[in-house]
Chain A
Amino acid sequence: MVDVGAPARARILVVDDSSLVRLYYRSTLEKAGFEVEQAINGIEAMERALSQPFDLVIVDVNMPRMDGFSFLRALRCGAGEMATLPALMISTEAETRDVAAARAAGANFYLVKPVAEAELVRHVCALTGAAS
């Protein structure tokens, strides 16, 4: 596994309604040296993003109450750093139109599930500027 060894550990917000998926991403990223917070939907993620700084948000598409697209649009309307917080969208939806919708909502990058550990770490390093 890749150890990013960054001097200040980048903080990642993982947003997914599946507890096992959140745990899988969190465990993978913590093993690689990142600090991880979690949220179960867009509403909880907004509350987290408003109350503490993050270097990256990883967000699923299909979630109850507030989905990933709505969350990203709300995030991009936010003030200061929230508007420019890098966002990686990860979804089971694999068509070109899904990627386009993610871009339009404000995602910086889009991955299709399943995402292998090394692939996840590589993209998170790239989006946070951490050395991989």
Chain B
Amino acid sequence: MSGSGRPESRSVHIEPEEVQRFCEFLYRRTGMSFTQGKRYFIDRRLEDRIAATGSSSFQAYFSLLRADADHEIEHLINSFTVNETYFYREDHQLRCMTSSLLGGIVALKPPGSTIRIWSLPCSTGEEPYSIALWLMENWPQVDNYNIEIVGSDIDTRALKAAAEGIYGERALMRLSRDIVSRYFRPLGDGNHQIDEGLRGSIEFTRANLIDTQDMLRYRDFDLIFCRNVLIYFDDASRRQAAENLYDCLRPGGYICLGHSESMSRISPLFSVCRFPDAIVYQRPEADHG
């Protein structure tokens, strides 16, 4: 059997050196770095994938994984990503976007020109949809520019859910009743589906942050939200990710990280900008490299 569903796990003994080999493979493919301290997290997901593929042992599964049989690498990555989030999370950064960042971004752009905003990783869509909602509700210039919002993730299962835009009450807890009633449609089972027009306004794509070749497709962003993903990477991958993100930004463009992350500790490429609502990082205007 193959697929991304979560099957009944069965106990397969995995040796420490096998976990080590597996972690090295995962790191090379995704940049995600797991230590032995995360052994339980790794074992749970590995056991699920071994069972899902009907493999008789770790060795059998690992051969299948390396051959990428039935897109097993994609299924594996999907099982290792964490996709729990909610709308208007870290809203101080959204406030910073409309009160401080966009003013500088549009200063050199004529009305009607394009503003590109990237949510990476976008998980199941809460962040890019939040950006769109926040702009419509809080930025008086929203109709004066052509705003392109792209949501990307390495997890194709999450991207599919993002495009469907169906959320439970928990994901909507930070939104006002007014916003929920205007932009969501109740499905009758306690879930809500986000407005079709809003779904159509976000482009969802698969992207691998540490794959420089893959990241060549993403250029000229004015603003990138890249929250809580660099914490999964080791130092070398973090630096690579930072360099890739730098190349994806326009000169003068900004990047917002998670509240526990600091670009200053990762890369000297960016300038630190302290705004009233948030600390963000800027690709210097003068550097056109």
Q: Taking beta carbons and an 8 Å cutoff, which residues of A are in contact with B?
A: 16-27, 30-31, 38, 62, 90, 92-94, 113-116
Contacts and interface: CB of A to CB of B under 8 A. Distances in A.
Contact of A114 (B110, B132, B140, B201): B140
Interface of B: 110-112, 132, 135-136, 140-144, 146-147, 149, 182-183, 195, 197-198, 200-201
Nearest to A17: B146
Nearest to A16: B143
A21 B183 contact: no
A24 B136 contact: yes
A30 to B, nearest CB: 7
A115 B198 contact: no
B182 A38 contact: no
A113 B195 contact: no
Nearest to B195: A23
Contacts, number: 55
A95 B6 CA distance: 60
Contact of A20 (B110, B136, B140, B183): B136
A64 to B, nearest CB: 11
A121 B144 CA distance: 17
Contacts of A93: 112
B201 A23 contact: yes
B201 to A, nearest CB: 4
A22 B197 contact: yes
B140 A116 contact: yes
Nearest 3 interchain pairs by C-beta: A92-B111, A19-B201, A92-B112
B144 A20 contact: no
Given A19-B200, A20-B136, A113-B111, A25 B143 contact: yes
Nearest to B200: A19
Contacts of B195: 23
A93 B110 CA distance: 10
6 contacts: A18-B147, A20-B142, A23-B201, A113-B112, A114-B140, A115-B143
Which of A26, A38, A92 counts the most B-chain CB atoms under 10 A from its CB? Answer: A92
A93 B112 CA distance: 9
Given A27-B136, A27-B183, A90 B143 contact: yes
A113 B144 CA distance: 5
A17 B123 CA distance: 27
B143 A21 contact: yes
Contacts of A115: 143
Given A30-B182, A31-B182, A114-B141, A23 B197 contact: yes
B256 to A, nearest CB: 19
A94 B112 CA distance: 11
Given A23-B195, A25-B143, A114-B144, 10 more contacts: A18-B143, A21-B143, A23-B132, A23-B197, A24-B136, A27-B136, A90-B143, A93-B112, A113-B111, A114-B140
